Amino acid sequence: MRDETGRVTVTRQKQGYQQVRVHFLILILSLVCFPLRPVVGQTDPSGVSKLNMVASVNPIATDAGLKAFEQGGNAVDAAVATALTLGVVDGFNSGIGGGCFILIRTADGKLVAIDGREMAPGAAHRDMYLRDGVADGNLSRVGPLASGVPGALKAYSEAVAGYGKLPFASLALEAADVAEEGFPVDRVYSGRLRSTQRYLKQFPGSAAALLKADGSVYQPGEVLRQPDLANTLKQISKSGTDWFYQGEFARKTADWMSENGGIMTVEDFKNYKTVNRDPVRTTYRGYEIIGFPPPSSGGVHVAQILNILESFDLAELHQQDPAQMRHVVAEAMKLAFADRAYWLGDPDYVKVPRGLIDKQYARDLAKKIKLDQVSAVTAHGTPPRKDGDFFGKHTTHVAAADSQGNWVAITTTVNTTFGSKVIVPGLGVVMNNEMDDFSIAPGVPNAFGLVGGENNAVAAGKRPLSSMSPTIVLKDGQPIMTIGAAGGPKIITQVVWGIINHLDLGMPIGQSIGAPRIHHQWSPDRLAVERSLEADQVKRLKELGHDVSLTSSSGVTQAIAWDPEKGLFTGAHDPRVPGKAAGQQQR
C-alpha cells in the first residue's frame, strides 16, 4: 500500500533473524561461487586508512597509486597512476588505446567531469558497417574499422595538470617500468588471453605483444613483458602527449590503418579533444548523487533509477521479502533502459532531455511498477520538457580519495576484451573497439545486447554512448562515497546496487559490492541473476513473472566510503576477481 507521501510501505513481519541469515548466506555463497585466489599483495577485499585510499582490480596497479601518495601526490595523482598501470597489467580491460570518464571532487568542493571518450574518425559515417544493406557487427568489433580515436591519455594528462600535484611524466614512467620488467599473469588475464587467442593471432602486432613465440597463451604465474608498450610510455614521459597525438604514435597508427583497410588518420589524432562537462546532479533520500553526463548514459540512468526507487521503502521491502525488493529494483531498471535506448547519445550532436532525471517523471514511472507481478514495458517514456531543456553539448574502474578532500572516480575502457584485438606493430598499445557502442544500424544490438536509435548513430567526430558510471555521493556537501564499475550495461545497475546496499540497507561498503546482484536492461526482456543469490529468491522472482537467466557474475565494482565519525576511509574491491584496496597507514 502507499502512505500519504506516495511511498510504498510493507507491514513488518520478519525480524532481524532473516536479515542476518541472508547476509551470512551471501557471504558463504559468494565464497563458494567466486572463490578468492591468492594474489600478490592483499586478498582482503577491503582496506582502511585515515589518510587516503585507492581501489582497483589489480594489486600492482593499486600499489602504483599508493606510491603516488607516498611521493606527495593527492587522490588525482593516485587514481591516474593506478589507471596508467592498469593499462599494462589489466590491458584486456583498459589502456591508453581506449577512453575514459573522470569525475573529480576537489578539496575546495569543485566538481569536475573530464570526458575522455573516444571520437569517431573523420571519415566515419552512419552506414559504414552496412554490407549489401545488412549491418555487419564483426566490423565494429574486430579489426581496423572498430576503433575510435583514443582519449584516455589526454584526459589523464589534463586531470593531473589541472588537479594533481605530481608531474604526469613521472606517473607514465612508473607504468613503463612495470611493462618493461613484466608481471606474473593471474588467472583472469590468462583466461582473457585464452578467450581471444584466435583473434589476437590475426594481427601480428597483437600476437607478438600478448602471446608466446609459438602462439600459445601465458599461464597463471608466468611473466609477461611488454617492451614495445614500455617504450611508448617512456616516449610519452619524455615528450608528452604530443608524441601520441601529433607525433610518431599517430603516424605509425595511421599508416597501419591505411594499409589494412582502416580510416583513422593523423588528422584524427590531431583533432582529438577532451570536453569538460557539467556533472549530473540529483538527490536520493537526503544524499546528493553526482554522476557523469552524456555521452555517458550512466549518470543519467543511475539518477533516474534512484529517483524511481525513492517512491518505495526498500529497507522495509527487503526486510519482509528480499525477492520482492529486487523485483521492484529490476522494474525500475527496465523503465530506465527503455529510455536509454531512445533518448541517449552524444550531447554535442543530439538533444538529450534533462527531464529524464526529473523527480515528477520518476514518480510517474514508479506508478507503473506492480509489487506482485512484472509489468510490460513496450517503449520508452516521454520526459518533461523533451523539446526545450537538454544536457550541455570491458572496462575497469579506479576509486581514490584523500584526507584533504579530493575524491576521484575514473572509469576507463577499451570496450570488449582486448578491444579491437589490434596492436600496431612496435607500439604495444591495445586499440579500442568503441565504434561498436554506436548504433551501427537502428535496432541492431551491440556486443552487450544493447539496442539504440538515431541519437546514437555513427557520425564523424561523434562520441559513442557509454554505460560508464563514475559516481560520487555527498552528504551535507561532503563526500562520503565514490563508486564505479566494469561490465558494459551492467555498470549502471552495479552502481545502483552499491548505493542501495550501502545507503538503504546499511551494508558496509565491502559487503555492499560483494552481495549478489540482478540486472535488467529492457532489451532483451530478461532478468540476469547471479548464481550466488539464494534459490528461494530466484524462485520467487520467477513466480513474479521474470524470465530469469543465471550468470556467474554481473560485473566488477570498486568503491570507497568515508566514516566521518571515525575519520576513516574504507576501500573495497570486488571479491569476484583479484584486486586490492589500500591506503597509507602513516606518512
Please give the full DSSP string across 46-61, using - where no structure is assigned: EEEESSEEEEES-HHH
The grid coordinates of residue 109 equal: 568542493
β-pair type (52-56, 580-582): antiparallel
Nearest Cα to 371, choosing from 314, 307, 289, 305?
314
Beta pairing partners, 103: 113, 409
Taking only the tens of pLDDT, the chain with its 587 residues reads: 444 334 443 333 333 333 333 333 333 333 333 333 333 233 446 899 999 999 999 999 999 999 999 999 999 999 999 999 999 999 999 999 999 999 999 999 999 999 999 999 999 998 999 898 888 989 999 999 999 999 999 999 999 999 999 999 999 999 999 999 999 999 999 999 999 999 999 999 999 999 999 999 999 999 999 999 999 999 999 999 999 999 999 999 999 999 999 999 999 999 999 999 999 999 999 999 999 998 888 889 999 999 999 999 999 999 999 999 999 999 999 999 888 877 777 777 777 788 898 999 999 999 999 999 888 775 666 665 555 444 443 679 999 999 999 999 999 999 999 999 999 999 999 999 999 988 866 566 655 555 556 778 899 999 998 889 999 999 999 999 999 999 888 999 999 999 999 999 999 999 999 999 999 998 889 999 999 999 999 999 999 999 999 998 889 999 999 999 999 999 999 999 889 999 999 77
Phi, psi of 269 (to 5 degrees): -65, -45
Helix (H) / strand (E) element for 401: namely strand 395-402
The grid coordinates of residue 476 equal: 551535507
Other CB atoms closer than 10 Å to residue 172's CB: what's the count?
A: 26
Beta pairing partners, 287: 284
Burial letters 290-299, b for 16+ CB under 10 A, else e: bbbbbbbbbb
> What is the predicted pLDDT for the residue at 348?
78
Contact 356, 343 (CB under 8 A): yes
> The whole model's pTM is what?
0.88
Give the residue extent of every domain in the chain: 16-39+280-393+468-558, 46-276+394-456
Backbone angle region of 565, left / alpha / beta, with phi > 0 → left and psi within -120 to 50 → alpha? alpha
Distance of CA 401 to the CA centre of its chain: 18
Helix (H) / strand (E) element for 356: namely none
Contact 419, 433 (CB under 8 A): yes
Phi, psi of 562 (to 5 degrees): -120, 130
Amino acid (one-letter) located at 177: D
3-state secondary structure of 357: helix
End-to-end CA distance of the chain: 54
> What is the predicted pLDDT for the residue at 238?
98
Q: Residue 173 and residue 232: Cα distance in Å, rounded?
A: 10
- Long-range Cβ contact pairs of 158-161 (< 8 A, separation 24 or more): 158/114, 158/274, 159/76, 159/79, 159/80, 159/102, 159/104, 159/114, 160/76, 160/77, 160/80
β-pair type (111-116, 130-131): unpaired
> What is the predicted pLDDT for the residue at 384?
57
User: Active-site residues: which are they?
Assistant: 395
Q: How many helices (H) and strands (E) does the chain have?
A: 18, 21
Q: Residue 548 and residue 60: Cα distance in Å, rounded?
A: 37
> What is the predicted pLDDT for the residue at 30?
36
> What is the predicted pLDDT for the residue at 323?
96
Q: Residue 414 and residue 147: Cα distance in Å, rounded?
A: 9
Fold classified for 16-39+280-393+468-558: Serum Albumin; Chain A, Domain 1 (1.10.246)
Contact 45, 514 (CB under 8 A): yes
Sign for the CA dihedral angle at 380, 386, 387, 389 comes to: negative
- Cell 561523434: give the residue: 462
Q: What is the DSSP letter of 501?
A: I
Phi, psi of 210 (to 5 degrees): -120, -15
Sign for the CA dihedral angle at 49, 55, 59, 62 comes to: negative
- CA-atom Rg of the chain in angstroms: 22
Cα angle: 190, vertex 153, 43; to 5 degrees: 40
**HEC readout, 423-457:** ECCCCCCECCCHHHHCECCCCCCCCCCCCCCHHHE
> What is the predicted pLDDT for the residue at 450?
53
